[in-house]
Structure 1
Amino acid sequence: MTILIEQAHDHFGNDVEEKKADINEKELVLDGGFVIPHSNSFGHSFRNYDVESERQEGVENFYRKNHTYQCYDFVKKMREEYGKLNRAEMSIWECCELLNEVVDESDPDLDEPQMEHLLQTAEAIRKDYPNQDWLHLTGLIHDLGKVLLLPSFGGLPQWAVVGDIFPVGCRFDESNVHYKYFKENPDYNNPAFNTKYGIYSENCGLNNVMMSWGHDDYMYLVAKENKTTLPSAALFIIRYHSFYAMHREGAYKHLMNDEDVENLKWLHIFNKYDLYSKSKVRIDVEKVKPYYLSLIEKYFPTAKLRW
């Protein structure tokens, strides 16, 4: 594996708020055999950002920083810098193994290394959708962009890598987690960015909308630029799986086009596994590894990807 190390950036600030999402009882059993647990790893309901727990304070502090610093100019700069894909050359599985070093500070439901979450998600999907192998692979790779947290990728702060994402360049919707912290964002009072459409137009398509920077958009760029043959729905899932204001709260629908609406159906399926498969149950990595290596070979034309 070749890692191209560049200097970490010091243009990040330090130190955005929360949102409560109650579990709908009718969602407790999926279409297949996967049964949604009633509580997360800490005994609380999933995505409950208000409950007092060992994770709550850190999660809220994360969103304070995220909503304050994720402005249009910052996102544009990150996309230009990381879109070069000149940080590393490595296989997808090598990237999966790197995530053993990563814990997501924005996640109130799990504090296990990210490799565990990837395999839990993929295996849960595989059980219920055995014939949709592209969806199994999407489950495995959807969070690989979190390598941005590692020093060899610039060591970006957590608020610039994980957490719920949202459009920049238009008004921040109140359904976003911890909306109140957006008031400190430089775009909040900018007349070019604080209207319903901002710099966009009705039904322009999410592909034309700049999203807050993080692992979602980065992994989308990696997959797309390395010419994956995964279907459009897979790339949509990778890019927008953290866009909870849209796929859970129904916000920003006025920016979506017909293709987005179709792909959203798959994201709704995927999200249940992404969210509710988180647990302390460990996956036998060596047992499932050959299967996922075969999928990587099927859907990616080269073994070594540019990151």
Structure 2
Amino acid sequence: MSGLRDFLKVYWPLVVIAFAGVLLALVLMDPAPPKTIRFAAGSPGGAYHAFAERYQRLLAEEGVEVVLVETQGSIDNLRLLGDSEAEVGLVQGGLSTARDEDMLRSIGGLFPEPFWVFVRTDLPAETLGDLRTVRMAVGGDGSGTRMLAIELESDYGGKWNSTSRLPLSGNAAADALLADEVDAAAFSASIEASYVDRLLNSSKVRLLRFDRAPALARRHEALSDIVLLRGVVDIGQDVPAADIPLVAPVAQLVVRKDLHPAIEALLIDAATAIHSQGTLLAPAGQYPDPDLIDLPISDQARRYY
């Protein structure tokens, strides 16, 4: 006992410093990563939900359960993320607000979401401006598609009838168009969306061209101009039969800024595995892209890129 007292008399400052160091390390140490996260996943049948299921499978292999939360789309996803009702979600570019920029972070741009406008084959329309008076489905109130449609309508000017903004979206809008219940339908969606594939391969409708896509992209920071190449959907059937210029925002993976960095790292790995292989609209290696985003990039993602 006297030996211990003698030791403390001589070395007590070092003991205090060591003890304080241990306490500081415990305070600064990140808590253990969560075993369950909630993913704002869009609606079943849509591309967002299909991609969310792929994230769910990949993170399950790492011991993390991903609970898919069905939503109405990007606006709903942003709301859930901002209200802490989800930790991660897919969001269309160009929709974030100042509040979102304060609370949320982006992992990166993942894939283009063209603004598809399909019309009945017999409808005499060549541009979006020709659809001012027709029955057109543009998605529900607050949806990313509706917001983008209204924004682009303003570029073409003129008075737009209320019938040109019917609140149908996804498969319901595609069904209505194929049944001649509407004259046109707009979607901001991945080419992998099931309803986009149905309409691209239907002889009852045709895809509207955006011949001034580069000009629209210059006017809207969140948009890029892309081309749906001739035959890329079906070489044998020559679908489409010509190159079709389009405009497209880019979908991004968004997380709450307080998400555990270990989960962020798993999401980055999953995003690379899922989106780097290329699509009918983008070559391999183009995505994920840290520049095609409208939210601050996360620290973990910045280090990765």
Task: Give the TM-score normalised by the residue count of structure 1.
Answer: 0.25
Larger radius of gyration, structure 1 or 2? 2
Larger strand share, 1 or 2: 2
